[in-house]
């Protein structure tokens, strides 16, 4: 929070940059990954489009939850929605990153960097919306949700439905999160920072392929 107050312009730029990372990560990595996992499900005689259905479900749930309240109001409904939705999102994203990047130090380093920069924007949103709570228990809760996701990601089998469903839900939620929460109006967005974030995500995805 002190960083946001001391450097509001830089914090705003990084927030839009992190939105670009989120969108790039979702469209260039998660959705293709969901396609691969769906092909595996089809080969095993399961519903091949089920994971895209989970992505749609994640998108709709998060979008409708956010649309049902005033994102600028620090009230019980707003706090409850953010606690459940973003806590779950942190856990799912940690599972996905750990499962994907856990195969090599290089993948882990790139994935962790992109992941941290993306969550920077989420933290700014939370500090602006719930400044009192984020200075106390809410911050500890989100750190705990990340830890839970990391532990699950480290121990879950990549062929398990836990990983597949987590990837599907994360793909939908990350798109809704970037569009609904972090990009509320085009006039308030630093488009250059957003596009740089997308390029950064594209480079990160390309680097981690090799």
Give the pLDDT confidence of 151-180 residue by residue, as tens digits.
Answer: 887 777 766 677 777 778 878 877 877 776
Quick one: average pLDDT of 27-39? 80
How many whole angstroms separate alpha carbon 115 and alpha carbon 94?
8
Tokens 């750190």 belong to which residue? 143
pLDDT value at residue 15: 78
Taking only the tens place, the pLDDT of each residue in 5-26 is 777 788 778 878 887 887 887 8
Higher pLDDT among residues 30 and 66, named by residue: 30
Q: Does residue 186 surpass a pLDDT of 60? A: no
Confidence of residue 103 (pLDDT cuts 50, 70, 90): low
Q: Does residue 210 surpass a pLDDT of 60? A: no
Spell out the residues 6+ positions from residue 155 whose beta carbon is closer than 8 angstroms to its own.
Answer: none
Which of 3-17, 36-50, 113-127, 150-164 has the weakest average pLDDT? 36-50
pLDDT value at residue 17: 82
The overall pTM is greater than 0.85: no
pLDDT value at residue 101: 60
Q: Minimal CA–CA distance to 25: which of 172, 192, 126, 143?
A: 172
Confidence of residue 69 (pLDDT cuts 50, 70, 90): low
Is the distance from CB of 163 to CB of 86 less than 8 angstroms? Answer: no
Confidence of residue 2 (pLDDT cuts 50, 70, 90): low
Q: Does residue 119 surpass a pLDDT of 60? A: yes
How many whole angstroms separate alpha carbon 125 and alpha carbon 202?
24
Per the structure block, which two tokens stand in for 182? 């972090």
> Angle at Cα 126 formed by Cα 141 and Cα 12, nearest 5°?
140
Q: Where are the domains of the chain?
A: 2-207
Confidence of residue 185 (pLDDT cuts 50, 70, 90): low
Q: What is the rounded average pLDDT for all residues in the chain?
A: 75
pLDDT value at residue 188: 65
pLDDT value at residue 146: 86
Q: Does residue 46 surpass a pLDDT of 70? A: no
How many whole angstroms separate alpha carbon 104 and alpha carbon 177?
29
């Amino acid at each position: 929070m002190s960083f946001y107050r001391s450097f509001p312009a830089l914090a705003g730029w990084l927030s839009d940059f992190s939105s670009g990372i989120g969108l790039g990560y979702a469209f260039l990595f998660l959705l293709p990954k969901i396609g691969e996992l769906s092909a595996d499900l089809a080969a095993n005689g399961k519903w091949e489009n089920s994971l895209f259905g989970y992505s749609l479900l994640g998108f709709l749930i998060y979008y409708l939850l956010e649309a049902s309240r005033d994102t600028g109001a620090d009230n019980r409904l707003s706090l409850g929605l953010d606690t459940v939705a973003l806590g779950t999102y942190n856990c799912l994203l940690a599972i996905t990153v750990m499962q994907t990047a856990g195969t090599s130090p290089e993948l882990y380093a790139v994935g962790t960097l992109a992941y941290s920069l993306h969550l920077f924007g989420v933290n700014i949103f939370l500090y602006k919306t719930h400044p009192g709570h984020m200075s106390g228990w809410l911050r500890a809760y989100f750190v705990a949700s990340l830890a839970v996701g990391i532990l699950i990601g480290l121990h879950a089998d990549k062929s398990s439905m836990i990983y597949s469903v987590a990837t599907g839900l994360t793909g939908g939620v990350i798109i809704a999160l970037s569009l609904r929460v972090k990009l509320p109006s085009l006039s308030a967005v630093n488009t250059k920072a957003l596009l740089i974030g997308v390029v950064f995500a594209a480079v990160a995805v390309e680097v981690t392929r090799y």
